[in-house]
Amino acid sequence: MSLEEEMTEDVDPFDAWRQFFALERDVIVLSLAMFAFSLGFQMTNRYMAEYMVALGATGIAVGLFGTFGNVISAVYPYPGGAISDRIGSRYALTAFGLLATVGFGIWLGAPLLAGVAVGPVELSIVAIFVGLVFAQAWKSFGLGATYAIVKQSVPPSRLAAGFASTESFRRTAFLIGPLIAAAIFAPFTGAADDVVLAFQLILLVAIVFGLFGTLVQHRLYDSTEDSFGKGFEGIDQLKSDLRSLPEPLRPLLVGDTLVRFANGMVYIFFVLVVTDFLVVGLSLPTSVPLVGDTLSPPAFFGLLLGLEMAIALLVMIPAAKLAERVGLKPIVGLGFLVYAVFPIMLISVPDGGVGPFGAAGVLALLFAFSGLRFAGLPAHKALIVGPAEMGAGGRVTGSYYLVRNLLVIPSAALGGILWEGVSNPLTGETLITGDPVVAFTIATAIGLVGTGYFLLFGKEFEAYR
Model pLDDT, residue 390 = 46
Q: What is the DSSP string of 192-238?
A: HHHHHHHHHHHHHHHHHHHHHHHHHHHHH---TT----PPP--HHHH
Q: Is residue 239 part of a domain?
A: no
Q: Is it the case that residue 4 has pLDDT exceeding 80?
A: no
Classify the C-alpha dihedral 154-158-163-165 as positive or negative. Answer: negative
Which segment of 226-230, 266-270, 344-348 scores lowest on mean pLDDT? Answer: 226-230
Q: Is residue 443 part of a domain?
A: yes
Model pLDDT, residue 260 = 94
> What contacts 121, CB < 8 A, 6 or more positions away?
none
Model pLDDT, residue 431 = 77
Q: Is it the case that residue 225 has pLDDT exceeding 60?
A: no
Which segment of 20-29, 149-158, 445-454 scores lowest on mean pLDDT? Answer: 20-29
228 or 326, which is more confident?
326
Q: What is the pLDDT of residues 174-212, one digit of tens each?
A: 889 999 999 999 998 778 899 999 999 999 999 999 898
* Interval 228-249 mean pLDDT: 61
Model pLDDT, residue 462 = 54
Model pLDDT, residue 223 = 55
Q: Is residue 40 part of a domain?
A: yes
51 or 15, which is more confident?
51
The percentage of the chain sitting over the pLDDT mark of 90, rounded to a whole number, equals 38
Q: Is it the case that residue 22 has pLDDT exceeding 50?
A: no
CATH at residue 53: 1.20.1250.20
Q: Is it the case that residue 447 has pLDDT exceeding 60?
A: yes
> What contacts 276, CB < 8 A, 6 or more positions away?
53, 297
Q: Is it the case that residue 342 has pLDDT exceeding 90?
A: yes
Q: What is the pLDDT of residues 118-148, one digit of tens each?
A: 777 889 999 999 999 998 876 654 455 555 5
Q: What is the pLDDT of residues 56-75, one digit of tens each?
A: 999 999 999 999 988 887 77
Q: Is residue 165 part of a domain?
A: yes
329 or 224, which is more confident?
329
Confidence of residue 366 (pLDDT cuts 50, 70, 90): very high
What is residue 458's three-state secondary structure? coil
Model pLDDT, residue 103 = 94
92 or 450, which is more confident?
450
Query: Cβ distance 171 to 316 under 8 Å?
Result: yes
Domain count, the chain: 1
Model pLDDT, residue 173 = 82
Q: Is residue 428 part of a domain?
A: yes
Domain housing 11: 3-219+247-464
Start-to-end C-alpha separation, the chain: 31
- Nearest one of 41, 39, 44, 311 to 176, comparing CA atoms: 39
Confidence of residue 31 (pLDDT cuts 50, 70, 90): low
The percentage of the chain sitting over the pLDDT mark of 70, rounded to a whole number, equals 72
Q: Is it the case that residue 83 has pLDDT exceeding 70?
A: no
The alpha-helical segments, DSSP class H, found in 371-435 are: 377-385, 393-408, 411-420
What is residue 422's three-state secondary structure? strand
Q: Is residue 242 part of a domain?
A: no
Q: Is residue 225 part of a domain?
A: no
238 or 51, which is more confident?
51
* Average pLDDT of the chain, as a whole number: 79
Tell me the whole-structure pTM to 2 decimals.
Answer: 0.82
Q: Is it the case that residue 153 has pLDDT exceeding 90?
A: no
> What contacts 30, CB < 8 A, 6 or more positions away?
3, 149, 166, 169, 217, 221
Model pLDDT, residue 27 = 46
Q: Is residue 234 part of a domain?
A: no
Q: What is the pLDDT of residues 412-435, one digit of tens each?
A: 999 999 999 887 777 777 778 889
Dihedral of the alpha carbons of 275, 278, 279, 285, in degrees to the nearest 10:
-110
Tell me how far CA of residue 258 lies from CA of 63, 131, 440, 442, in angstroms: 18, 28, 14, 12
- Nearest one of 364, 345, 361 to 353, comparing CA atoms: 361
